[in-house]
Structure 1
């Protein structure tokens, strides 16, 4: 359920890797209880944006506020305890541990401002994992691994979920399942999702708002339905 509350405010954010400017004075707002899609070509700065929000990268300049409080300089582990969970690209599970052991790791840095998400709740959301709870993570399919890393993030009881390329390398049927689950998290649990995706069509289908990055700058932003229906914009930036 979308609200008018600004949960994350980003103002004039600049990030550099040596002489390369990855984000150039980026400003945007993330509304509470909604999905914001961050789109653009490879190298546009999408992953850098998520890594900077979650504290993995320190910006050269700019401000990031979460619930009105400054985030720049806050460590990633403190971010988790504040209710912000980051699921990086790559489906990084601990292969030697079981599904349930991986999930329990997610609870170590949980946000204590809300009632803890339980294992049973995660299994209700990701039904295929329920039957694999004692299986080693290395035996999982790509789709199951993606469910596991999102489920592990949910165990931290976040209010904001940062997802980086959750559909990458997955079969279309599995992609549809993952996006359906993301939409359910927003609608049923009032979670805020920031979704970085190459699959622009699918991302726009579940997002309320969208931001398109181009060479580290905000090229365009607005309601997802408006961006999806603009053929010139789709051709220029989104590839469909």
Structure 2
């Protein structure tokens, strides 16, 4: 426990002056405008904002899926975008787990086979059974995606993302396609991963209620950060109601 508390003082990401402009023909569409943000090891952060606020763009840049138009992102004190594409590929493979709104499981593979694909790519992975057990899906390991509910598929997707023991777990609207009851189960699984593995966790959502379970809430609007605040008291997923 002491080592986990110590980790929380370490900076994982440091973004300075991040801007992103998408070009659509002759039109330039700004998505981010000079954003500064730090993420600390082991913390649970919610990026909160409406559609079009820039939160998904920021998440994709932190995860190495997109590049900033200007500014700098450091990951563990190293410039994330100073190398070749191969450098970003290794960064995504070794350090980042992604969870998206839609589960992207391979239909022809069972739950454990979907998770095992990631295990085989990583040198620091946990057993697929352990990852499924962490999210409460071990008893469904031989089921195919079509035999699972939406919430169960999302928990398998989380297991797949954490199986390689990533430093960072990035979740893009992970409950967006789920009903309230199922969404709470998925959020509880994400919180458990953050708590038990010490994985720096970022969840983006437009739902202000979900922000109550974070260590810190970063509110975005029109490509900028409106506020960056700590929660005095974190709520559990079971306490949320929307």
For the superposition of Structure 1 and Structure 2, which TM-score range results when normalised by the shorter chain? Answer: 0.7 to 0.9
CA contact (8 A) 2:155 2:189 kept: no
Name the CA distance, whole Å, in 2 between partners of 1:16 and 1:108: 37
- RMSD over aligned CA atoms reads 2.1
Whether the aligned pair in 2 keeps the contact of 1:83 and 1:159 (CA below 8 Å) is: yes
The answer as to whether partners of 1:33 and 1:192 remain within 8 angstroms in 2 is yes
What residue is the counterpart of 1:90 in the other structure?
102
User: Aligned equivalents of 2:144 and 2:185: distance in 1?
Assistant: 22
CA distance in 1, matches of 2:177, 2:119: 27
How many residue pairs get aligned? The number is 224
- Per the alignment, residue 66 of structure 1 pairs with 75
TM-score by length of 1: 0.86
Matches within 5 A, 1:138-153: 138-153=146-161
Whether contact under 8 Å (2:21, 2:69) holds in the other structure is: yes
CA distance in 2, matches of 1:31, 1:123: 26
When structure 1 is superposed on structure 2, of 170-179 and 28-37 the one drifting more is: 170-179
Instruction: Name the structure 1 match of 2:183.
Output: 175
Counterparts of 1:86 and 1:109 in 2: how far apart (Å)?
Answer: 15
**C-alpha distance in 1, partners of 2:79/2:224?**
22
**2:219 aligned with 1:219, yes or no?**
no
1:10 aligns with 2:18: no
Specify whether residues 17 and 117 from structure 1 end up closer, same or farther in structure 2 by C-alpha distance, changes over 3 A only.
same
Counterpart secondary structure, 2:132: helix
1:210 correspondence with 2:222: no
Whether 1:31 and 2:24 are equivalent positions in the alignment is no
In 1, Cα distance between equivalents of 2:150 and 2:94 = 29
Distance verdict in 2 for CA 1:88–1:79, change over 3 Å: farther
Deviation string for 1:171-194 (max 9, x for gaps)?
222211122222222222111101
Partners of 1:25 and 1:89 in 2: how far apart? 27
1:117 aligns with 2:126: yes
Contact 1:36-1:193 within 8 A present in 2 as well: yes
**Cα shift readout 1:203-224 (whole Å, capped 9, x = no counterpart):** x222111111101011111113
Q: Is the 8 A contact 1:26 1:217 kept in 2?
A: yes
Larger deviation: 156-165 or 132-141? 132-141
Question: 1:22 & 1:225 partners in 2: Cα distance?
Answer: 30
Distance in 2, Cα, partners of 1:77 & 1:224: 34
Unaligned runs of 5+ in 2: 236-241
When structure 1 is superposed on structure 2, of 31-40 and 77-86 the one drifting more is 77-86
